Chain A
């Protein structure tokens, strides 16, 4: 009986580990916490094997800071990182390779307190 229970336990744990997608810190921003926020637009879009998630923020420095902090935590996993101050906006860009596919992460902060943030990649990259 004990052996059977151990076998079931091992199989269930193996399945759980195999099925668990690799969570990026920035993905936690789409857990629903901003869905009811008046100053954001959230888009979650899956099409033709691509998975896009975006947040547009208007006049809410706190949310922009939270996004920037989440990106900051994912920088160690990035294969490519750039931060560029343009004439009108600041552009932060990350590329993370997972499962042989690239995940693109971007944050554009404008000078008027607004921001546009996205995560995009093939669905396979998020598995």
Chain B
């Protein structure tokens, strides 16, 4: 800090600050001035104002669109990865469903049974289902016949 104070007088620093405010410095020179101002302990309204201005422009630089762009593209990448992983998982499940063309899984009283017994139970279940469908069809036919009979009776009364 001593070195900087010895290298630049207050007048020189203020001159540089004035050039900074007049936009006469290059970006490199601005950075160097910023460094010098951080190191020196001169206290003057112009120096303090320049320091404040530099702090504001630094914070503005931090809030530029670049980090937002990074965050957005990072979010997109994460979303793409999630979509790819979930899509692949669903596709694999779909393929798996199609591949197992002759699958038979049976659980009896909480225990999975062997393949032969499973086939027997499943086939018995399918037969039971066919019996169910037959009962429903017969019942529907019976109901339809009753409705038809009823309508005929009504028509006869007319």
B and A form one assembly: yes
- A interface, CB within 8 angstroms of B: 1-2, 5-6, 8-9, 12-13, 15-16, 19-21, 34-47, 49, 52, 54, 56, 82, 84, 86, 91, 93, 104, 106, 108, 116, 118, 120, 123, 126-127
A108 contact set on B, CB distance < 8 A: 132
Contact B140 A9, beta carbon cutoff 8 Å: no
B12 within 8 Å of A (CB atoms)? no
Choice from A19, A86, A104, A120 contacting B87 with Cβ under 8 Å: A19
Which of B3-11, B30-38, B41-49, B96-104 lies at the interface with chain A? B96-104
* Interface bits B90-123 vs A (CB < 8 Å: 1, else 0): 1101100110111111111110100000100111
B139 within 8 Å of A (CB atoms)? yes
Residues of B in contact (CB 8 Å), total 42
B141 to chain A, nearest CB (A): 12
Known contacts: A46-B101, A47-B102. The answer to whether A5 contacts B76 by CB under 8 A is yes
B55 within 8 Å of A (CB atoms)? no
A60 to chain B, nearest CB (A): 12
Known contacts: A13-B87, A16-B83, A106-B132. The answer to whether A123 contacts B126 by CB under 8 A is no
Q: Which residue of A lies closest to B130 (CB)?
A: A120
Known contacts: A12-B83, A12-B84, A93-B136. The answer to whether A35 contacts B122 by CB under 8 A is no
Contact B73 A35, beta carbon cutoff 8 Å: no
B71 contact set on A, CB distance < 8 A: none
A36 contact set on B, CB distance < 8 A: 107, 110
A8 to B101, CA, bound (A): 32
A2 contact set on B, CB distance < 8 A: 72-73, 76
A39 to B132, CA, bound (A): 21
Shortest beta-carbon contacts, A-B, top 3:
A45-B122, A12-B83, A16-B87
B83 contact set on A, CB distance < 8 A: 8-9, 12-13, 16
Known contacts: A5-B73, A12-B84, A44-B103. The answer to whether A37 contacts B140 by CB under 8 A is no
A123 to B107, CA, bound (A): 21
Q: Which residue of A lies closest to B119 (CB)?
A: A45
